Every structure is written in structure tokens, then in C-alpha cells.
């Protein structure tokens, strides 16, 4: 008789609200670092979905495992009810949820209060990455408030109902921090800019929103339409947020189904349903796990090239002013304008972020110098000063989930530190361009000479 490991994974079509069923044969896919939770009263986590028995299963007696995918909307009361019905009616052995350990802990309120590594957050170009992370969470919370449902409520329900029915719970999604790092590193500068503008606009309620029926968002036509819109707006973001996670989740589900004799309900966002099903039908199409879990390599990005170019032009301007024999009075005047323009605009950014007065003063005092050094940023110093005054902890991160307006969000200690750093940097960058322009006007230098000298300074 054909062994279970030789059988192909077959997708059985059946309707349970928005679900589809998959017969999984025990295909042995070596997945990497998912997480599992034992719902028997004691929570234990491991790096892989280790709910699969290591005991040898007689291939003659083993029945194919069955995977039921329930597609949900993360802010829909209808989805909460569908998840409950699916688990209570099907009595699965395992309930797999679209969560990683970090998101699980956050939803269950199990994140311990501690100091945040502010220096690490503000350095290494992570300010805007964290800002996007925070704004994404806030916008989802805002939508949830409008719908009267807590974001992730269907996942919490799945876990609670599974435990109540004696089923084990498996966390099958990729770590959120890894996903966000890959997401941010793979987006182009234009995609990042559009993302920030869109998120800030949504947070402030600018521009209105499309009339989308959340209860119908699990319909495949609607899902396909929304995903296609994301691919047009940001193809790299769609690859990381959807395609890669489809493969990661499908691999974990196949691992859980290995050996047969299991009924598994997978509670996934509707946007992942079609992609995961495709991989379950054809497991050999799954990419290597290393391609989904490796940290993005630091690269010499377009933004760094622009930053160094700006610094080169600013330094070249100072060098040419000195070498041109400009009178000392004119030199001091040019430097004074450079100091004031950089300082005022960087301080304005910190003030718009509602930074502490000390943070605003810090931005004003350091902006002229940080604009001449690619290794420093005015926002880094302003953010550190803000952190010293506010002392943000992980409690501030948890509080953010409860906030109902952008005005309240700005009062959150952690968000304010990141926001101050980001806007102080934006102000300093604008100040650098404007400062160079004013100095050129004062000294009468030829802009072509400045650009040529600037390229020489950076070795081009």
C-alpha cells in the first residue's frame, strides 16, 4: 500500500462559512522557527511547531490529516463568531493561529514592563521603521474602534475556544519583528515615503476612507482586489507581508499535519487564505525556509547615498568659502545663517512632535554640526534627550493599544520619543538644503563648483 509520505497533499473543497479543507498526508517539510502553545493549562513554547508526534506511525493505519482554513478579517465581529462556530463544530486536535510568540504575548497581555532600548531604536536608521510599526498598530486599532471589535479578537477567541475544547494551539506565523525588518529593508525610498504619508493621513483622519464592508472583506473577490491594490502601491511590501508569510504559514501547517491522524483548523487573515491553499496543494513549490527567515543584510541604500551627498555638498560649500578668500565678516555671516537655519528647522520638527523643551533646544544646538557628519543625526540627540525626560517603558507600548485618538497617541512617552527623533531629522535635512542655498547667495559661489567639489569630497 502507498505510504502516507508518498501521498500528495490534496485540497478538498468544502464550505464551512469562509473555510476550505485540506487533506494533508504527512508531507515532511522542514520548517524553521514557528511557535507552539499547549492549551492544557500550562503554556510552553518552542522554536518549531513540535506538536507533531515523533513516534513512528504505521502508514497503513494512518489517515490523512485534515486542514480547515478559516479566513477572517482582523477587525470583524462576524469573523469572531465564525471562528467560534468552526472550532466548536469541528472539534479539531490543533488550532493554528496567525500569530507569533510576540504578538501572542501582546494580545494576551503577558508582556512584562521593562525599560526600552532607546539608543538601539534611535540609532542605525530604525526611527522610521519603528514609526511605521507604531502607526500601523494605531491605524488598525482605529479601524477596530469604528467596527466595535478589538484588533486580533478572532485570534484571541480561537485560542480561548480551543483551550475550552481541549485542543492544542499552534502559533504558525513568522516573528513580527523579523517581518517588519524585512518589510522596511526591502521597500524602496518612494514606497517608504508613500507608506509614511498614508499612515499619518489615516491616523489624522485626512482624506477620508473607502467604503469597505468589513463583514464582506473575507470574500475572495474583495480580498484579491485589496491585495492587487497593495501590489500596485508597494510591490515589495506585498511580497514580505503576504507572499513570504503565506509560504511560512503553509510550511508550518504541513509540519503540524505530518504523520496524519490530525484535524487542524487554521485561523488566518483572509489575505493569506488563497496563497496558503496554493502551497498546500503543491508543497514542492515552497521556498527554502532560510529565504524567509534570514535577517536583511545591511546595504548601502539610496537614502545613505543621498545623505552622504548632502553632507558632501555642505562640506564643499564651507571649504570653497574658506578657500575663495571670502572676508571673515562674510564667512561669519554665512556660518551664522547656516547655524540658525539648521537649528530652527530641526527644533521646529521637535516642537511639532510636542517634544520636551530640552529636546527642542538640543535639536537647535546640534543640527548645524550633525548636518556635516553622516554618522550623526539631530533627531538622534533630540530623541535621547526626550527619552531622558520621558523614560518610556514597555508599559507605554501596551498603553498605545488602548488609545483612541492621534492626540492621545502623541502623549504616549514611547511614541513621542520616536516622533521627536523623526521630525527633528526631517527638519535638519530641510535645513541643510536651505542653509547651503543661503550661503551660496551670501558668498556668490557658483553652484556648479559646489557640486563638483561635493562629489570630490565623497570620492565620486
Separation of alpha carbons 386 and 71, rounded Å: 43
Q: What is the pLDDT at residue 85?
A: 93
Kindly state whether residues 164 and 306 are assigned to the same domain. no
Give pLDDT tens digits along the chain (460 positions): 444 333 333 333 222 223 333 434 333 333 333 333 233 222 222 334 434 333 344 444 557 889 999 988 766 678 888 999 999 999 999 999 999 988 888 777 665 555 566 766 666 556 666 667 666 666 666 655 655 556 678 888 999 999 999 999 999 999 988 888 888 778 777 777 777 777 766 666 655 545 545 454 445 555 566 666 777 777 888 888 889 999 999 999 999 998 888 999 999 988 899 999 999 999 999 999 989 988 766 655 555 566 566 666 666 666 766 676 667 787 788 888 989 999 999 999 999 999 999 999 999 999 988 877 656 788 889 988 998 888 887 777 767 666 667 777 788 888 888 889 889 989 998 998 898 888 878 877 666 665 565 555 545 4
Q: What is the pLDDT at residue 109?
A: 67
Q: What is the pLDDT at residue 391?
A: 82
Instruction: Decide if 127 is inside a domain.
Output: no
Q: What is the pLDDT at residue 185?
A: 79
DSSP, collapsed to helix, strand or coil, labels residue 144 as helix
Q: Which residues of 264-278 are buried (b: 16+ CB within 10 A; e: fewer)?
A: bbbbbbbbbbbbbbe
- Please count the other Cβ atoms lying within 10 Å of the Cβ belonging to residue 99: 26
CA distances from 210 to 78, 94, 207, 226 (A): 20, 37, 10, 11
Kindly state whether residues 279 and 313 are assigned to the same domain. no
Domain end (from 268, 293, 318)? 293
Instruction: Decide if 333 is inside a domain.
Output: yes
Instruction: Decide if 225 is inside a domain.
Output: yes
Helices (H), 165-219: 176-186, 189-204
Instruction: Decide if 326 is inside a domain.
Output: yes
Residue whose C-alpha is closest to residue 154's, from 91, 89, 99? 99
Q: Report the relative pairing of strands 263-269 and 94-97 from DSSP bridges.
A: parallel
Which distant-in-sequence residues (6+ apart) come within 8 Å of 407 by Cβ? none
Kindly state whether residues 28 and 80 are assigned to the same domain. yes
Separation of alpha carbons 429 and 413, rounded Å: 25
Instruction: Decide if 122 is inside a domain.
Output: no
Kindly state whether residues 259 and 371 are assigned to the same domain. no
294: alpha, beta or left, given left = phi > 0 and alpha = psi -120 to 50? beta
Separation of alpha carbons 390 and 439, rounded Å: 37
Instruction: Decide if 126 is inside a domain.
Output: no
Kindly state whether residues 289 and 307 are assigned to the same domain. no
Q: What is the pLDDT at residue 113?
A: 53
Q: What is the pLDDT at residue 333?
A: 86
Instruction: Decide if 65 is inside a domain.
Output: yes
Kindly state whether residues 283 and 360 are assigned to the same domain. no
Which domain, by its residues, includes 229? 4-116+149-293
How many structural domains is the chain composed of? 2
Instruction: Decide if 124 is inside a domain.
Output: no
Kindly state whether residues 178 and 243 are assigned to the same domain. yes
Kindly state whether residues 211 and 342 are assigned to the same domain. no
Separation of alpha carbons 162 and 126, rounded Å: 38
CA distances from 149 to 109, 144, 146, 155 (A): 17, 5, 8, 12
Kindly state whether residues 269 and 363 are assigned to the same domain. no
Kindly state whether residues 161 and 263 are assigned to the same domain. yes
Spacing of C-alpha 440 from chain mean position: 41
318: DSSP letter: H
Supply 57's cell numbers: 506511525
Which distant-in-sequence residues (6+ apart) come within 8 Å of 97 by Cβ? 104, 155, 158, 159, 169, 170, 171, 172, 173, 266, 267
Kindly state whether residues 229 and 276 are assigned to the same domain. yes
Amino acid at each position: 500500500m502507498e505510504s502516507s509520505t508518498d501521498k500528495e497533499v490534496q485540497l478538498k473543497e468544502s464550505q464551512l462559512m469562509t473555510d476550505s479543507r485540506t487533506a494533508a498526508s504527512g508531507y515532511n517539510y522542514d520548517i524553521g522557527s514557528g511557535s507552539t502553545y499547549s492549551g492544557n493549562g500550562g503554556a510552553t513554547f518552542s522554536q518549531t511547531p513540535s506538536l507533531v508526534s515523533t513516534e513512528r506511525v504505521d502508514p497503513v493505519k494512518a489517515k490523512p490529516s485534515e486542514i480547515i482554513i478559516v479566513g477572517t478579517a482582523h477587525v470583524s465581529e462576524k469573523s469572531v463568531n465564525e471562528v467560534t462556530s468552526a472550532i466548536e463544530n469541528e472539534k479539531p486536535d490543533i488550532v493554528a493561529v496567525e500569530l507569533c510568540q510576540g504578538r501572542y504575548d501582546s494580545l494576551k497581555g503577558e508582556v512584562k514592563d521593562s525599560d526600552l532600548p532607546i539608543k538601539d531604536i534611535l540609532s542605525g536608521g530604525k526611527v522610521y521603521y519603528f514609526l511605521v510599526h507604531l502607526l500601523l498598530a494605531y491605524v488598525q486599532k482605529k479601524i477596530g474602534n469604528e467596527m466595535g471589535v478589538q484588533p486580533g479578537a478572532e485570534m484571541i477567541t480561537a485560542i480561548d475556544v480551543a483551550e475550552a475544547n481541549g485542543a492544542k494551539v499552534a502559533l504558525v506565523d513568522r516573528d513580527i519583528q523579523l517581518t517588519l525588518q524585512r518589510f522596511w529593508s526591502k521597500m524602496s525610498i518612494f514606497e517608504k515615503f508613500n507608506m509614511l504619508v498614508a499612515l499619518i493621513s489615516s491616523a489624522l483622519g485626512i482624506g477620508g476612507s473607502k467604503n469597505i464592508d468589513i463583514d464582506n472583506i473575507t470574500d475572495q473577490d474583495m480580498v484579491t482586489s485589496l491585495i492587487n491594490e497593495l501590489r500596485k502601491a508597494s510591490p515589495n511590501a506585498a511580497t514580505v507581508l503576504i507572499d513570504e508569510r503565506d509560504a511560512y504559514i503553509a510550511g508550518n501547517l504541513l509540519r503540524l499535519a505530518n504523520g496524519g491522524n490530525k484535524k487542524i483548523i487554521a485561523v488566518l487573515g483572509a489575505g493569506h487564505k488563497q496563497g496558503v491553499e496554493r502551497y498546500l496543494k503543491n508543497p514542492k513549490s515552497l521556498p527554502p525556509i532560510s529565504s524567509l527567515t534570514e535577517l536583511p543584510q545591511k546595504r548601502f541604500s539610496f537614502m545613505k547615498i543621498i545623505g552622504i551627498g548632502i553632507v558632501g555638498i555642505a562640506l564643499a560649500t564651507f571649504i570653497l568659502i574658506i578657500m575663495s578668500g571670502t572676508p571673515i565678516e562674510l564667512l561669519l555671516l554665512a556660518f551664522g545663517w547656516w547655524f540658525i537655519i539648521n537649528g530652527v528647522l530641526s527644533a521646529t520638527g521637535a516642537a511639532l512632535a510636542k517634544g520636551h523643551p530640552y529636546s527642542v533646544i538640543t535639536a537647535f544646538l546640534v543640527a548645524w554640526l550633525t548636518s556635516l557628519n553622516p554618522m550623526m543625526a539631530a533627531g538622534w540627540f533630540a530623541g535621547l534627550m526626550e527619552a531622558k525626560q520621558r523614560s518610556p517603558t514597555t508599559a507605554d507600548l501596551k498603553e498605545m493599544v488602548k488609545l483612541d485618538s492621534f492626540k492621545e497617541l502623541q502623549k504616549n512617552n514611547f511614541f513621542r520619543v520616536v516622533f521627536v527623533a523623526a521630525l527633528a531629522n526631517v527638519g535638519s535635512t530641510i535645513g541643510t538644503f536651505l542653509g547651503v542655498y543661503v550661503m551660496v547667495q551670501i558668498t556668490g559661489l557658483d553652484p556648479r563648483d559646489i557640486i563638483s567639489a561635493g562629489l570630490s569630497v565623497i570620492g565620486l
